[in-house]
Structure 1
């Protein structure tokens, strides 16, 4: 089902989750449904991001196809920073609530010597002051695939309010700075995308029973 230019689908194979291994409640047996209310940002133009849910309710993934930030030759002034905000409507079985326990980000980076990049993410529920925000920094020279994992401590988990349907927001950003590299002759870039769908962002869910 396509909503707002983003597809919401079910994965054919289960993904490894962290909920059971970390002592949280076993995920509910009933299927969760994630509708994408809105998608906005320079890193995820309409039709370039897809959301998929694992059959065991332990994770969901987001796959991008045009999420690239760059500086240097061939770049526009605004290309150094790309972002994406996903506004998700997560329908969970009655009596349960969820939180994002971890997130795995992947992509490819080519950073010239002296260039740097940063990947940021924040998570919050609509109308809630509680926000989990994490970032990772990379330095050149680098020409390889990259991976970063956000692990949220149990005490810092932001739980969905029990008995209320509030949209869940995920804001991501990648930013590349030329630093001391020669941006008049070289290009540095960082991607969080995949043309074949093999690279994606995985969000691991923690579950607990509502009081």
Structure 2
């Protein structure tokens, strides 16, 4: 379901409507969006979101922090006579996973298993994306979920931490958005 929902959910049109640019639901305590940057230069539209505490953690003394979900809503204006699909999105994050601990990020499902530590960048490319409606104003949603599993090999007692700090659609419309006349 997320594979079908996410391409529409994150589609950002060439003309962003900022009357109510961000409305977040189910935000965990302490979560803040530090920065939302929108730029439009020479035929390019980009949006970058920087997070302060979009993280998940497991360990023997950590309770209730193994999953984190972020939902963002964007008002968009789709030019009359056009529709689009969202082609790709970049994520930048940090993870520290003991052996056997697994990090999962759900947009397009992918997993990383420890023992690992370091920064990572991941590009989600959407095949079979569902197009937006044809022209007009709409609200589009970005839903991203991360979780960490303590691991079977450690009897669920492994330690792990992961944090997504940036989500970017920072590329030209020709590479991240697929437009078509309708």
The TM tier, using the shorter chain, reads 0.7 to 0.9
Q: Secondary structure at the match of 2:53?
A: coil
Distance 1:45 1:36 in 2: 20
* 1:188 positional shift: 0.9
**Comparing 65-74 and 34-43, the one that deviates more:** 34-43
The 3 A distance-change label for structure 1 pair 33 and 150 is: same
For 1:201, the equivalent position in structure 2 comes to 167
The 3 A distance-change label for structure 1 pair 182 and 145 is: farther
For 1:13, the equivalent position in structure 2 comes to none
Q: Secondary structure at the match of 2:23?
A: strand
Contact 1:48 1:64 in 2 (8 A): yes
Q: What TM-score do the two structures reach when normalised by structure 1?
A: 0.66
Contact 2:16 2:75 in 1 (8 A): no
For 1:55, the equivalent position in structure 2 comes to 40
Q: What TM-score do the two structures reach when normalised by structure 2?
A: 0.75
Equivalent residue in structure 1 for 2:88, among 102, 106, 111: 102
For 2:144, the equivalent position in structure 1 comes to 172
For 1:9, the equivalent position in structure 2 comes to none
Written as runs of structure 1 = structure 2, the 5 A alignment for 1:96-135 is: 96-121=82-107, 134-135=108-109
Gaps of 5+ in 2: 1-12
Gaps of 5+ in 1: 1-26, 122-133, 194-199
* 1:30-56 deviation line (CA, Å, top 9, x unaligned): x54454252123458664254322324
Distance 1:93 1:163 in 2: 5
Higher RCO (CA 8 Å, separation ≥ 6 residues): 2
Distance 1:169 1:32 in 2: 13
Aligned pair 1:36/2:21, yes or no?
yes
Contact 1:39 1:46 in 2 (8 A): no
Q: Secondary structure at the match of 1:38?
A: coil
Aligned residues: 161
Q: CA RMSD in A?
A: 2.6
Distance 2:76 2:28 in 1: 22
The 3 A distance-change label for structure 1 pair 40 and 150 is: same
